Amino acid sequence: MSGQQMRLTATVTGRVQGVGFRFRTMAEAQKLGLDGEAWNSLDGTVRIVAEGGKPELEELLAWLRSEHAPGSVDNVDAEYGAATGEFTGFGVG
């Protein structure tokens, strides 16, 4: 990871549940050296919290918005904030 640690919080809408979205997100995040978690929400979205360097977080966000993400992504709402250090590794909830 590079530079100051930050947090990315993202909500992904579309056909993103039941298509391996969380597990592929975990694989991408691990490849980038990010910590955090991805989980399904009751409203049909996938929520993602990831912590690491800003370049790596931006790369994950670009992947979430790309055609390489599984399913059919309609929108990704994202915001950056300060990292809390609460995660060790990246998991699926």
Check 7, 15, 22, 24 and give the catalytic one: 22
Check 7, 15, 24, 40 and give the catalytic one: 40
- In 10 A of CB 81, how many CB atoms? 11
Q: Is 75 a catalytic residue?
A: no
Q: Is 22 a catalytic residue?
A: yes
CB 22 within 8 A of CB 37: no
- In 10 A of CB 92, how many CB atoms? 13
Provide the 8-state DSSP code for 70: S
Could you give the CA distance from residue 25 to residue 39 in angstroms, rounded to a whole number?
Answer: 10
- As annotated, the active-site residues are 22, 40
